[in-house]
């Protein structure tokens, strides 16, 4: 079978009205395009059923509250959470990690405690811990990578000590696509009494995720990478951990009783959801999860793995291309074209209607490790097909011709 002559998965592609014919959208790791069912759910929520949640005494608000909480239940089922009360709606993975760092970190950690991260983390899983370090004096250690770009869990095992209270790692690297063995990472963290936070931003759209089976303690992801709206994301933590965490934002909806003398707080998840929530985002996220689940994450993973294999095969046939990351990366391929800045690669590909990401991908320490200022990155979604891979390879050949 010649993989590169096969067509796109037309049945899925037609679900996405913002992808015109002949445009190869290869930037899903930055943000996914939206299927019509999600756009329709958002339009309906604003155009037909809109109201605030949790406080209205009128029927419309009560109905919207039911829809809002149904989404929380749906998220819980989607990731194998023990209960919907373990699902905290946040703006995205970035906010979820900052919430943990400020609420859990400030109260459960002290000066001299250690946090273990890895070389490939997104800035969202680095900077909140540095801010915590600046506030309370924790120490940060950085686990190295294997030669093919995975977090080196043997090294993690050797580095961990009882002083480590938190291990925070990406489930799937947004640059290399490498997949973490979360279960082993959890065992290693728990062996020294540390908690494991998993940044699931790039995993949730690509792999089946079951937080109970993974045995992690915190899991965060963003809706917009999961074919859902921007501005909505999820922090999951085990109920006993959430119970032990103080509020981080104060305001409406997160209280039990307020007086000037003393205020008491609502139980989780409301304790962490101050203010009017992103009602429509939550409803849109529900539609996105239904969409993804109907296709099935096993099918999506197999689809993206085939595209990654085809892309790596096509690009490795071009002399001046250097590929990063492991061969079995999940939906993401980073590469460099010798002597050409990734931004130039991206610009020339854009002329050929191929959209990739070029830059440091919010992973500057990883760029330093790879010895490059930036990479070009192609990342796949359900709407991509082998025609997109062929367009990418053709575009890269044009880049090499232009730059001699
Ligand atoms: C691995 C990873 N973590 C965290 C983030 C941050 O996500 P957001 O900007 O949606 O909060 C991203 C987004 O690029 C990511 O790829």
- The Å distance, Cα 27 to ligand 1 centre, comes to 13
pLDDT tier, 13 (very low <50, low <70, confident <90, very high otherwise): confident
For range 206-227, the mean pLDDT:
98
Q: In what helix (H) or strand (E) does residue 12 lie, and over which residues does it extend?
A: helix 10-13
Residues β-bridged to residue 114: 139, 164
Give alpha helix (H) positions in 14-142. Answer: 36-47, 59-79, 93-99, 106-108, 127-136
Cβ of residue 202 lying under 6 Å from some atom of ligand 1? yes
Question: The CATH number of the domain where 224 resides is what?
Answer: 3.40.640.10
Q: Indicate if 173 and 249 belong to the same structural domain.
A: yes
Q: How far is CA 260 from the centre of its chain?
A: 40
Please provide the average confidence, as pLDDT, over all residues in the chain.
95
Q: What is the reported pLDDT for 8?
A: 46
SS3 247: coil
Cβ of residue 400 lying under 6 Å from some atom of ligand 1? no
pLDDT tier, 1 (very low <50, low <70, confident <90, very high otherwise): very low
Does residue 6 form part of some domain?
Answer: no
Cβ of residue 222 lying under 6 Å from some atom of ligand 1? yes
Check pLDDT > 60 for residue 2: no
What percentage of the chain has pLDDT greater than the value 70?
A: 97
Does residue 35 form part of some domain?
Answer: no
Q: Is 362 a catalytic residue?
A: yes
Q: In what helix (H) or strand (E) does residue 235 lie, and over which residues does it extend?
A: strand 233-237
Q: What is the reported pLDDT for 5?
A: 38
Q: Indicate if 99 and 236 belong to the same structural domain.
A: yes
Q: What is the reported pLDDT for 331?
A: 96
CA gap 206, 136 in Å, rounded? 36
Give residue 172's domain range.
Answer: 49-293
What is this structure's pTM?
A: 0.96
Does residue 261 form part of some domain?
Answer: yes
Q: What is the reported pLDDT for 10?
A: 53
Q: Indicate if 176 and 282 belong to the same structural domain.
A: yes
Do 375 and 367 contact (CB within 8 A), yes or no? yes
Query: Pick from 237, 261, 293: which residue ends a domain?
Result: 293
Q: Which residues have C-beta within 8 Å of that of residue 20, sequence separation ≥ 6?
A: none
Quote the number of domains for the chain: 2
Do 76 and 87 contact (CB within 8 A), yes or no? yes
Cβ of residue 93 lying under 6 Å from some atom of ligand 1? yes
Q: Indicate if 219 and 73 belong to the same structural domain.
A: yes
CB neighbourhood size of 302 (10 A): 11
Ligand 1: atom nearest CA of 92 is: 11
Choosing from 362, 367, 372, 387, the catalytic residue is 362
For range 325-333, the mean pLDDT:
95
Cβ of residue 201 lying under 6 Å from some atom of ligand 1? yes
Going by their DSSP bridges, the two strands 218-222 and 233-237 should be labelled as antiparallel
CA gap 223, 291 in Å, rounded? 13
CA gap 35, 286 in Å, rounded? 13
SS3 284: helix
For range 101-109, the mean pLDDT:
98
Residue nearest to atom 9 of ligand 1 (CA): 94
Find tokens 């993973």 and name the residue.
301
Check pLDDT > 90 for residue 121: yes
- The Å distance, Cα 28 to ligand 1 centre, comes to 12
Q: What is the reported pLDDT for 56?
A: 76
Q: Indicate if 56 and 199 belong to the same structural domain.
A: yes
Q: Indicate if 210 and 303 belong to the same structural domain.
A: no
Q: Indicate if 115 and 244 belong to the same structural domain.
A: yes
Q: Indicate if 244 and 327 belong to the same structural domain.
A: no
Q: Which residues have C-beta within 8 Å of that of residue 79, sequence separation ≥ 6?
A: 204, 209, 210, 211, 219, 234, 236
Q: What is the reported pLDDT for 404?
A: 77
Query: Pick from 293, 311, 333: which residue ends a domain?
Result: 293
pLDDT in tens, 352-382: 999 999 999 999 999 999 999 999 999 999 9
pLDDT in tens, 229-259: 999 999 999 999 999 999 999 999 999 999 9
pLDDT in tens, 135-185: 999 999 999 999 999 999 999 999 999 999 999 999 999 999 999 999 999
Residue nearest to atom 16 of ligand 1 (CA): 174
Cβ of residue 86 lying under 6 Å from some atom of ligand 1? no
Query: Pick from 251, 276, 293: which residue ends a domain?
Result: 293
């Amino acid at each position: 079978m010649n993989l590169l002559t096969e067509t796109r998965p037309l049945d899925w592609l037609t679900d996405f009205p913002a992808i015109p014919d002949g445009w190869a959208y290869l930037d899903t790791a930055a943000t996914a395009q939206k299927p019509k069912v999600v756009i329709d759910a958002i339009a309906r929520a604003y155009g037909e059923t809109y109201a605030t949640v949790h406080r209205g005494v009128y029927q419309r608000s009560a109905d919207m509250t039911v829809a809002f909480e149904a989404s929380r239940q749906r998220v819980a089922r989607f990731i194998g959470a023990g209960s919907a009360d373990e699902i905290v709606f946040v703006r995205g993975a970035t906010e979820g990690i900052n919430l943990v760092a400020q609420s859990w970190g400030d109260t459960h950690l002290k000066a001299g405690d250690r946090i273990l991260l890895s070389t490939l983390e997104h800035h969202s899983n680095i900077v909140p811990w540095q801010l915590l370090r600046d506030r309370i004096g924790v120490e940060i250690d950085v686990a190295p990578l294997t030669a093919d770009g995975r977090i080196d869990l043997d090294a993690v095992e050797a580095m961990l000590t009882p002083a480590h209270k938190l291990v925070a790692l990406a489930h799937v690297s947004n640059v290399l696509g490498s997949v973490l063995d979360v279960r082993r990472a959890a065992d290693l963290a728990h062996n020294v009494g540390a908690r494991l936070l998993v940044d699931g931003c790039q995993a949730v759209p690509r792999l089946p995720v079951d937080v109970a089976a993974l045995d992690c303690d915190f899991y965060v992801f963003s809706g917009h990478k999961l074919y859902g709206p921007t501005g909505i994301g999820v922090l999951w933590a085990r109920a006993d951990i959430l119970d032990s965490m103080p509020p981080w934002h104060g305001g409406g909806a997160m209280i039990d009783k307020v007086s000037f003398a003393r205020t008491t707080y609502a139980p989780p998840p409301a304790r962490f959801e101050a203010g009017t929530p992103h009602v429509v985002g939550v409803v849109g996220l529900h539609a996105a999860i239904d969409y993804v689940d109907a296709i099935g994450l096993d099918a999506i993973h197999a689809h993206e793995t085939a595209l990654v294999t085809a892309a790596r095969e096509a690009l490795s046939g071009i002399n001046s291309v250097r590929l990063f990351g492991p061969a079995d990366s999940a939906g993401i391929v980073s590469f460099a074209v010798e002597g050409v800045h990734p931004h130039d690669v991206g610009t020339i590909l854009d002329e050929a209607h191929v959209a990739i990401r070029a830059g440091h991908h919010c992973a500057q320490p990883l760029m330093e490790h790879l010895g490059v200022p930036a990479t070009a990155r192609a990342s796949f979604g359900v709407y991509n097909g082998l025609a997109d891979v062929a367009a990418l390879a053709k575009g890269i050949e044009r880049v090499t011709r232009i730059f001699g």
